[in-house]
Structure 1
Amino acid sequence: MLSIEQAKQMAKSLRTSLQARNLEVTHAIALELVARQLGYKDWNTASARLPVQSAAPAISFDRPIPILRMFDEAKAREFYLDFLGFSVEFEHRFEAGLPLYLGISRSGLQLHLSEHHGDASPGSTVFVPMDNIELLHDELMAKRYGYGRPQIVQQGWGRVLEVHDPFGNRIRFCQD
């Protein structure tokens, strides 16, 4: 809902716009026009019903991006890109020879992989709600990855397909 201050700003903007077209209106007339645009009978009615201040902005969060620790770039690429089918979004190193920070994604799931000490603990678990877990299972099994053949397991909360990366991290794909 608009506040009185926002309505006044609308009136000021309207007046400026009309002046640019050589149409002079008083501020009071601009306020009356804005009140009508907002569905009120007149400015007095609008100013009595509009809040004095707009509501404070609500806190909102975007989707989190888990950071997983890695120790070997080649093994990370083999597992996450070749086996799991992620794509690279970005790569960052402060300079050549320093640890890699890698952003990857697949079908809306974003992960960050880091060689930086302190960014994440090895042995972390990421829980990923998803649809079509059978398709993912079939895709992974067809790749015949030498270090894992994950199976779908029925749990009380859904069907789970858990994969283990070369660094002790687990990703639990789950379908209700």
Structure 2
Amino acid sequence: MTTAVPILRISDVEVSLAWWARLGFVEEFRHEFEPGLPLFIGVVRDDCRVYLSQHEGDAHGPSLVYLWVDDVDVVAAELGVQEEDMPWARDCEVTDPDGNRIRVASPPRG
């Protein structure tokens, strides 16, 4: 099995965790080398993982992630955005609190 995990730069852990929770992700782990140092957080939804980092050297961003889900309409409704039908997918785009763009998609209808 091969998998890729995007690392996104964040500033506020709690704000980011609440935002990613709206996409159905939960915190999987939290790492801090020493108290007061930047945090590195893993969030997971099903088998999909995203790493969120406060470290200045990680992911200078903002970045773009393409996220496949079973039903983009549910996610779009939760986030208050409009879906769009493309030849390759039905998708929508949202931006996290740190300017990272997340395109959420499901296979095209029909």
Cα deviation per residue 1:117-145 (whole Å; 9 max; x = unaligned)? Answer: 1210221001122322223333x15xxxx
Q: Aligned equivalents of 1:150 and 1:121: distance in 2?
A: 26
Bigger helix share? 1
Cα deviation per residue 1:48-99 (whole Å; 9 max; x = unaligned)? Answer: xxxxxxxxxxxxx511011000011221122112x22311110000011100
Root-mean-square deviation (CA, aligned residues, Å) is 1.5
1:100 aligns with 2:39: yes
Larger radius of gyration: 1
Q: Any stretches of 5+ residues in structure 2 without a counterpart?
A: none
The TM-score with structure 1 as length reference comes to 0.56
Look up the match of 2:30: 91
1:153 aligns with 2:69: no
Q: Percent identity?
A: 37
Q: Aligned equivalents of 1:150 and 1:117: distance in 2?
A: 30
2:67 to 121, 128, 132: 128
The answer as to whether partners of 1:70 and 1:122 remain within 8 angstroms in 2 is no
Q: Aligned equivalents of 1:165 and 1:88: distance in 2?
A: 16
> Residues 16-35 of structure 1 correspond to what in structure 2 (within 5 A)?
none
Q: Aligned equivalents of 1:150 and 1:100: distance in 2?
A: 30
Relative contact order, higher structure (CA 8 A, sep 6+): 2
Q: Aligned equivalents of 1:168 and 1:100: distance in 2?
A: 18
